[in-house]
Amino acid sequence: MIYADNAATTRISDKAFEKMLPFLREQYGNASSQYSLGAKAKRAIEHAREQVALAIGAKTVEITFTSGGSEANSWLLQGIAELFGGESIHIITSSIEHHSVLNACRALEDKSTEVTYLPVDGSGRVSLDDVKVSIRPNTRLVSIMLANNEIGTIQPVAEIGSYLHEKGILFHTDAVQAVGHIPVDVNELHVDFLSASAHKFNGAKGTGFLFKRSGLKLPSMIFGGEQEHGYRAGTENVAGIVALGYALEESVAKMQTTGTRLKAMIDDTVRGVQKVIPSVKINGDAENRLPGTVNLGFDGVSGESLKNILDLKGVCVSTSSACNSGKDIPSHVLLALGLSEEEAKSAIRISYGMYNTLEEVEYVVSAICDAYRKIKSAI
């Protein structure tokens, strides 16, 4: 099997797996317990917090561990609305955000929060000018993802953040697809909040974090004990948090070499497919995107059919976000680029990761071209 859907999830790294195992068996203490076994768990959590803070240029006190990116996004958006609950507030986001942001915003609209969904250009990028003209006197938050999960396009977050910082407007970025894959520094990005998920950078599923800049307040997410600075009560997922810290540390250390290799693999894949199928096109930004992700459009061919045939050939790809797969609806991201419904349904996403090899590219290209020809011959 060739797994080429790393934007959906990744295999846990060998190092992260090795480091988490003791906390499932030998060192299984509750981090809140006041004896040595609990103290070891507590120290492990704080070490992971240090690893995360170092990786993104933050302070340890600014990192709160969560169950993943969706939880972090929901907490932040609902928390901001609750924080300003005594007034009618306005939030700005983009039309291509992950559903954890879009659905949270729609839920807030039902509670009288005003939301503006910014358009994107044909490459999937948000314009700073559109942000500027959308700001209102009651705008309290802007939330723009750092890199898109379906097309890989990287947003001008630093540029937007710099402007919003001058205006005194809070800024959040969903960096789930970016952290561990491209350089991320919260100070260079000028963000007040940042979400990430461990299983996107070879950590364990069920863990993530929210960066919250020092001095900013959010209501508690879960009530109970004082875990995670009182924001998220409940016994911590110590093993998962340990894996998160080591996975992120490893991903950042290998980022340059891994990124160069993944970009070469994607470029070879695109060239190989286009050589046989000249009509295939890249959906999104052909250059300014994540190194290991590309979204390809195939004229007159169902992306679902391509995906299913590739699965039979032992190649795993996707047609859209994993959170929205299995539904016979076109991708909201591709529609936002200006594609028709038919074009949006004729795309697949290929996303390579740490454990993919250059040798796999030739088979992936061959499998895609064979699947395409098979579908075309049956039409």
Please, which residues bridge with residue 111 across strands?
none
Is there a single domain that holds both residue 270 and residue 210?
no
Q: Are residues 55 and 192 in the same domain?
A: yes
361 token code pair: 């590219």
What's residue 85's pLDDT?
Answer: 79
User: 35 by DSSP, 3-state: which?
Assistant: coil
How far apart are the C-alpha atoms of 54 and 89, rounded to whole Å?
A: 34
Q: Are residues 209 and 323 in the same domain?
A: no
Residue 285: give the domain boundaries: 2-9+255-378
323 is catalytic: yes
Among the three residues 196, 228, 253, which one is the final residue of a domain in this structure? 253
Q: How many CA atoms lie within 13 A of 347 on its CB side?
A: 30
* Domain co-membership, 148 together with 206: yes
Q: pLDDT tens for the chain, 379 residues: list them.
A: 999 999 999 999 999 999 999 999 999 998 888 899 988 989 999 999 999 999 999 999 999 999 999 999 999 999 999 999 778 899 999 999 999 999 999 999 988 899 999 999 999 999 999 999 999 999 999 999 999 999 999 999 999 999 999 999 999 999 999 999 999 999 999 999 999 999 999 999 999 999 999 999 999 989 998 889 989 989 999 999 999 999 999 999 999 999 999 999 999 999 999 999 999 999 999 999 999 999 999 999 999 999 999 999 999 999 975 555 556 789 999 999 999 999 999 999 999 999 999 999 999 999 999 999 999 888 7
Closest CA to 87 of 139, 165, 143: 139
- 8 A C-beta contact, residue 202 and residue 194: no
Regarding whether 160 and 242 lie in a shared domain, the answer is yes
Same domain as 179, residue 76: yes
Judgement on whether residues 229 and 120 belong to the same structural domain of the protein: yes
Contact 48, 283 (CB under 8 A): no
**In a shared domain, residues 246 and 260:** no
Total residue count of the chain as it appears in this document: 379
d(CA 43, CA 38): 9
E strand or H helix at 94, and its extent?
Answer: strand 90-94
Q: Please state, in angstroms and rounded to a whole number, the distance separating the CA atoms of residues 15 and 295.
A: 30
For 307-330, the pLDDT digits (tens) are 999 999 999 999 975 555 556 789
> How confident is the model at residue 197, as a pLDDT?
98
Residue 13 DSSP class = P
Q: Of 105, 316, 323, 369, which one is the catalytic site residue?
A: 323
User: 357 with 264: CB under 8 angstroms?
Assistant: no
Indicate the helix (H) or strand (E) that contains 348. Answer: strand 347-351
Region of residue 306 (phi > 0: left; psi between -120 and 50: alpha; otherwise: beta): alpha
176 and 277 belong to one structural domain: no
Tally of CB atoms within 10 A around 279:
11
Residue 129 burial (10 A CB sphere; 0-12, 13-18, 19+): exposed
Q: How far apart are CA 238 and CA 206, in angstroms?
A: 11
CATH code assigned at 203? 3.40.640.10
* Partner residues linked to 210 by β-bridges: 64, 195
The pLDDT value recorded for residue 348 is: 98
Strands 170-174 and 193-197: parallel
**Predicted pLDDT at 320:** 73
What is the per-residue pLDDT for 328?
Answer: 72
Q: What's the count of helices (H) and strands (E) in the chain, helices before strands?
A: 13, 12
Select from 238, 253, 268 the last residue of a domain. Answer: 253
Are both 268 and 241 inside the same structural domain?
Answer: no
Q: What is the pLDDT of residue 378?
A: 83
- Counting residues of the chain whose pLDDT is more than 70, the rounded percentage is 98
For residues 272 and 369, membership in a common domain is answered with yes
Q: How many domains does the chain have?
A: 2
Strands of 106-181 (E only): list them. Answer: 114-118, 139-143, 170-174
Domain boundary among 234, 253, 272: 253
Asked if residue 291 and residue 192 are part of one domain, the reply reads: no
CATH code for the domain of 294: 3.90.1150.10
